[in-house]
Amino acid sequence: MDSFFASIEIRDNSSLRNKPVAVAGKANERGVLTTCNYIARRFGLHSAMPTKKAIQLCKDLVIVPVNIDKYKKESIEIFKIFNCYSKKVEPVSIDEAYIDVTDSDYCSGNPEIMASQIRSCIKKDFGITASAGISINKLISKICSDWKKPDNQFSISDCEVSSFIKNVDLHKIPGIGKVNFEKCRNLDMQICSDMYAYSSNDLSDLFGSYGNNLYNLIRGIDHREVETNRVRKSISVEDTFIKDIESIVECKSNISELYKKLTSRCQNLEIPLELVKEIFIKIKFSNFESITRQTKCNNLNLNQYIKLFDSNLDVITKPIRLLGLGFTLRQGNENIVQYDIFDR
The model's confidence at residue 267, banded by pLDDT at 50, 70 and 90, is confident
Is residue 187's pLDDT more than 90?
Answer: yes
pLDDT score at 98: 97
Q: What is the mean pLDDT of the chain?
A: 90
Say if residues 181 and 171 touch (Cβ distance below 8 Å): yes
Q: Please give the CATH number for the structural domain made up of 69-161.
A: 3.30.70.270
150 φ/ψ angles, rounded to the nearest 5 degrees: -95, 170
The segment(s) of the chain belonging to CATH 1.10.150.20 are 166-213
Indicate the range of 7-11, 32-36, 215-219 predicted with least confidence: 32-36
The second-level CATH assignment, the architecture, of 4-66 is 3-Layer(aba) Sandwich (3.40)
Mean pLDDT of all residues in 127-144: 97
Domain boundaries 235-338, CATH class: alpha beta
Query: What is the distance between the alpha carbons of residues 118 and 133, in angstroms, rounded to a whole number?
Result: 12
Tell me the pTM.
0.77
Q: Give the largest CA-CA distance in the chain.
A: 65
Let me know if 341 is exposed, middle or buried by CB neighbors in 10 A (0-12, 13-18, 19+).
Answer: middle
Mean pLDDT of all residues in 83-108: 94
For residue 189, give the 3-state DSSP assignment: coil
User: The domain 166-213 is classified under which CATH number: 1.10.150.20, 3.30.565.10, 3.90.1150.10, 3.30.1240.10?
Assistant: 1.10.150.20
pLDDT score at 340: 38
274 φ/ψ angles, rounded to the nearest 5 degrees: -70, -10
133 φ/ψ angles, rounded to the nearest 5 degrees: -120, 135
Residues recognised as catalytic:
96
Of the candidates 342, 263, 340, the one whose C-alpha atom is nearest the C-alpha of residue 32 is 342
The segment(s) of the chain belonging to CATH 3.30.1490.100 are 235-338
Mean pLDDT of all residues in 71-82: 95
Mean pLDDT of all residues in 299-324: 91
The segment(s) of the chain belonging to CATH 3.40.1170.60 are 4-66
The segment(s) of the chain belonging to CATH 3.30.70.270 are 69-161
